[in-house]
A and B are shown apart, each in its own frame.
Chain A
């Protein structure tokens, strides 16, 4: 149960396929424990076989939890919540609170379900060889995490961009990677980095950029109580870090406003309503 112990690593990941070298420098918090030597062998091979093998060797993450663990720890979690209710001066037996310890315990297990999952499970082999080397961005991914200092929600959005190196990832898998790391007790800086490093290790792209903008309830609901404050963190790896033009392109594409699904829906309904009015009938006209 020590996957979350903070360990300082300096990672280097060199690809020798002749393309731009991807170097990750800096300290990493050790959720992904990976001795640098593990990648030297697989790096020499090519093809999707290499990715699978290096993925397996890279992520020697220990599961700290399983579904069975959840069931086993539920009663003690519920008991802890009952103690909390009593400690706050409430009556745990009143109707509204009678099943609250169990609901709160289950909810908290849900908010930390990232500990049960690993990247390998979630990627599901959705890595495809594609002759595409232009930027891919998935933005406005809603993210919910828990502040590890106050156990209070962090709510925000993640924007991910990467430059593939002949391998692309299923788009929803980016959101699933976000889910794994966000559904934990987190610190926003660490969350940003973990997402970026996970994508890097899965795909070995030319570069990855991850930006998170979030509202921390611990700052909004208590403490300084600043309602409108937002915290923005970013991690730029590979060519996103080295080349300012690439970074610029990423940031510019993030700030443009394409049509929102809700806007589109509203326009469709509005035009349908106008058609009804014009035809003078109450049923839809084609």
Chain B
């Protein structure tokens, strides 16, 4: 599995974070050799190739749950559920570089930029049940700004995976900071976990809030406070 998998967290970015106080001197590594379009096509074919296996697994699940797999409503459900699950985990096949699409611009701006209220949908890796909420991202550019929708696309890459909310928050922050090398990045996620709402403790109104502060947001409480007050309202 490629390094963007949620594997063991000991990738270069995390080491950089610990040893270099958040920011790597090395610029973003670009994909080499294989043209992006070919790479994407291979990935798509691989994803398609896995569909029958997933379908069979879902048929087995329906049967074991006591349902009648031949009834009209369930006839194509294994295929639909398999495709839906692949959609929910398509972030594994995307990279930050691929998605940023060179939408990084030189701009003499060093004030805070915030994109808040980004809807986020992910899957809890423990129960395979959705959790969803809103992401607020702020960063202070260092002569380079990124296209605003790219922030939402970075959220999509990391959220469309089997996730844990803490890890998701950090990956978004690290992904952005690696791509832009800004002065600071702040990410706050507030989400509702269906594994807590639909089952288990069944607490309807509970929300989980996680945050990741890098660079100047970590060092300077006033900057952090400004971000938090701008995103709460």
Question: Interface residues, chain A, CB within 8 Å of chain B?
Answer: 1-2, 4-6, 64-65, 69, 73, 76-77, 79-81, 83-91, 94, 96-97, 99-100, 103-104, 107-112, 115, 142, 144, 148-153, 155, 185, 187, 217-218, 220-222, 227, 262
B67 within 8 Å of A by Cβ?
Answer: yes
Interface residues of B in 182-218 (CB under 8 A from A): 194-195, 197-199, 204-205
B89 within 8 Å of A by Cβ?
Answer: yes
| Stretch in B14-22, B51-59, B143-151, B223-231 with 4+ CB within 8 Å of A | B51-59
| A222 vs B123: C-alpha distance when bound (angstroms) | 13
Chain B: how many interface residues by the 8 Å CB criterion? 54
| Stretch in B29-37, B68-76, B169-177 with 4+ CB within 8 Å of A | B68-76
Beyond A81-B57, A81-B61, A115-B67, list 11 extra A-B contacts (CB 8 Å).
Answer: A5-B71, A77-B64, A83-B57, A87-B50, A88-B85, A89-B92, A150-B81, A151-B81, A153-B130, A185-B77, A227-B119
Chain A residues whose CB sits within 8 angstroms of the CB of B64 once the complex forms: 73, 76-77, 80
Q: Are A100 and B73 in contact (CB under 8 A)?
A: no
Chain A residues whose CB sits within 8 angstroms of the CB of B65 once the complex forms: 65, 73, 77, 108-109, 112, 115, 185
Q: Are A4 and B5 in contact (CB under 8 A)?
A: no
Query: What string of 1s and 0s marks CB contacts (under 8 Å) between B148-187 and chain A?
Result: 0000000000000010100000000000000000000000
Chain B residues whose CB sits within 8 angstroms of the CB of A221 once the complex forms: 88, 121, 130, 132
Chain B residues whose CB sits within 8 angstroms of the CB of A81 once the complex forms: 57, 61, 128
B66 within 8 Å of A by Cβ?
Answer: yes
| A149 vs B132: C-alpha distance when bound (angstroms) | 21
Q: Are A88 and B57 in contact (CB under 8 A)?
A: no
Q: Are A100 and B129 in contact (CB under 8 A)?
A: no
| A153 vs B66: C-alpha distance when bound (angstroms) | 18
Q: Are B162 and A103 in contact (CB under 8 A)?
A: no
Determine which residue in A2, A89, A103 has the highest number of CB atoms from chain B within 10 A of its CB, and name it: A89
| A2 vs B63: C-alpha distance when bound (angstroms) | 11
Known contacts A1-B68, A112-B65, A187-B73, A84 near B127 by CB under 8 Å: no
| A80 vs B72: C-alpha distance when bound (angstroms) | 22
| A97 vs B62: C-alpha distance when bound (angstroms) | 22
Q: CB within 8 A of B1: which of A84, A87, A91, A220?
A: A91
B110 within 8 Å of A by Cβ?
Answer: no
Known contacts A88-B86, A103-B127, A94 near B7 by CB under 8 Å: yes
Q: Are A152 and B130 in contact (CB under 8 A)?
A: yes
| A79 vs B130: C-alpha distance when bound (angstroms) | 21
Q: Are B125 and A84 in contact (CB under 8 A)?
A: no
**Could you name 28 residue pairs across A and B whose Cβ atoms are closer than 8 Å?**
A6-B72, A6-B73, A69-B66, A76-B60, A77-B65, A80-B57, A87-B57, A89-B5, A89-B89, A90-B1, A90-B89, A90-B162, A94-B8, A96-B6, A104-B129, A108-B61, A115-B66, A149-B77, A150-B84, A151-B77, A151-B81, A152-B81, A152-B84, A155-B194, A185-B65, A221-B88, A221-B130, A222-B87
